[in-house]
Structure 1
Amino acid sequence: MSEYDDVRVLLPTYDEVETVETVVSSFRDVGLRDVLVIDGGSTDGTREAARDAGARVVRQSGEGKGQAIREAVRDHVDTPYVLMADADATYDAADAAAMLEPIRSGDAEHVIGNRFADMRPGAMTRLNRVGNRLINRSFRLIHGEDYGDILSGYRAFTRESFRRLHLSADGFGIETEMAVECAKNRVDVAVVPITYRPRPGGSSTNLHPIRDGGVIFLELYRKAKTNNPLFYFGSVGATVTAAGAVMAAYVLYRWLVHGVGHEIIAVGAAGATILGIQLLVFGFLADMILSLHREQLVRHDRAIDAAGDDGPVNAAGEDDAVDAAGEDDAVDEGEDGR
Structure 2
Amino acid sequence: MDNGEIRADSLERGGEVITMTERTREISADEVCVLVPTLDEAATIGDVIDGFYEQGYANVVIVDGNSDDDTREIASDRGAQVLVQSGDGKGQAVREALEYVDVPYVLMVDGDGTYDPADADRMLEPLSRGYEHVIGNRFADMDDDAMRALNGFGNRLINRSFRFIHGADYDDILSGYRAFTTDSFERLSLDSDGFTIETELAVECVKHGVDTAVVPVSYSARPEESETNLHPVKDGGTIIFALYSLAKTNNPLFYFGSLGVSGIVSGGFVAAYVLWRWIQYGAGHEILALVSAAAILLGVQLLMFGVLSDMLVTLHREQRRRLEQITRETNGRDRDGE
TM-score scaled by length of structure 1:
0.88
Deviation at 1:202, TM superposition (A): 1.3
SS at match of 2:57: coil
CA offsets 1:94-153 (integer angstroms, 9 cap, x no match): 1111001111x2331110000111111111111111111111111111111111101000
2:301 matches 1:290: no
Q: Quick one: structure 1 residues 81 and 312, their matched pair in 2 at CA, closer, same or farther if it must change by over 3 Å?
A: closer
2:167 matches 1:144: yes
Structure 1: distance between partners of 2:314 and 2:217: 35
Task: Report the equivalent of 1:53.
Answer: 78
User: Contact conserved, 1:182 with 1:188, CA < 8 A, in 2?
Assistant: yes
Q: Quick one: structure 1 residues 115 and 257, their matched pair in 2 at CA, closer, same or farther if it must change by over 3 Å?
A: same
Task: Report the equivalent of 2:44.
Answer: 19
Match of 1:40 among 50, 56, 65: 65
1:285-324 equivalent positions in 2, closer than 5 A: 285-309=308-332
Task: Report the equivalent of 2:110.
Answer: 86
Structure 2: distance between partners of 1:22 and 1:247: 61
Deviation at 1:308, TM superposition (A): 4.1
Q: Which protein has the bigger helix share?
A: 1
Q: Which protein has the bigger strand share?
A: 2
Deviation at 1:3, TM superposition (A): 4.4
Tell me the matched-pair count.
311
Task: Report the equivalent of 2:248.
Answer: 225
Task: Report the equivalent of 2:223.
Answer: 200
2:113 matches 1:95: no
Structure 2: distance between partners of 1:246 and 1:161: 47
Task: Report the equivalent of 1:327.
Answer: none
CA offsets 1:180-239 (integer angstroms, 9 cap, x no match): 111111111010101111100111001111221122112111211111110110000001
Structure 2: distance between partners of 1:303 and 1:32: 36
Deviation at 1:53, TM superposition (A): 2.1
Q: Which amino acid aligns with 1:295?
A: E
SS at match of 1:128: helix
Structure 1: distance between partners of 2:143 and 2:82: 30
User: Contact conserved, 1:84 with 1:154, CA < 8 A, in 2?
Assistant: yes
Structure 1: distance between partners of 2:176 and 2:307: 35
Deviation at 1:7, TM superposition (A): 0.8
1:1-338 equivalent positions in 2, closer than 5 A: 3-74=28-99, 76-103=100-127, 105-309=128-332
SS at match of 2:53: helix
Q: Which amino acid aligns with 2:124?
A: L
Deviation at 1:311, TM superposition (A): 5.9
Structure 2: distance between partners of 1:301 and 1:99: 25
User: Contact conserved, 1:25 with 1:54, CA < 8 A, in 2?
Assistant: no
Structure 1: distance between partners of 2:136 and 2:83: 25
CA offsets 1:240-296 (integer angstroms, 9 cap, x no match): 110000111111111112222222111111110111011001111111111122222
Deviation at 1:304, TM superposition (A): 3.1
- Aligned CA RMSD, in angstroms, stands at 1.7
Q: Which amino acid aligns with 1:257?
A: Q
Structure 2: distance between partners of 1:210 and 1:312: 53
Q: Which amino acid aligns with 2:300?
A: I
User: Contact conserved, 1:111 with 1:155, CA < 8 A, in 2?
Assistant: yes
Structure 2: distance between partners of 1:224 and 1:242: 21
User: Contact conserved, 1:3 with 1:31, CA < 8 A, in 2?
Assistant: no
Structure 1: distance between partners of 2:171 and 2:161: 12
Deviation at 1:309, TM superposition (A): 4.8
Q: Quick one: structure 1 residues 240 and 91, their matched pair in 2 at CA, closer, same or farther if it must change by over 3 Å?
A: same
CA offsets 1:28-85 (integer angstroms, 9 cap, x no match): 11111111111111121111111222211111111111111111111x2111111110
User: Contact conserved, 1:236 with 1:279, CA < 8 A, in 2?
Assistant: yes
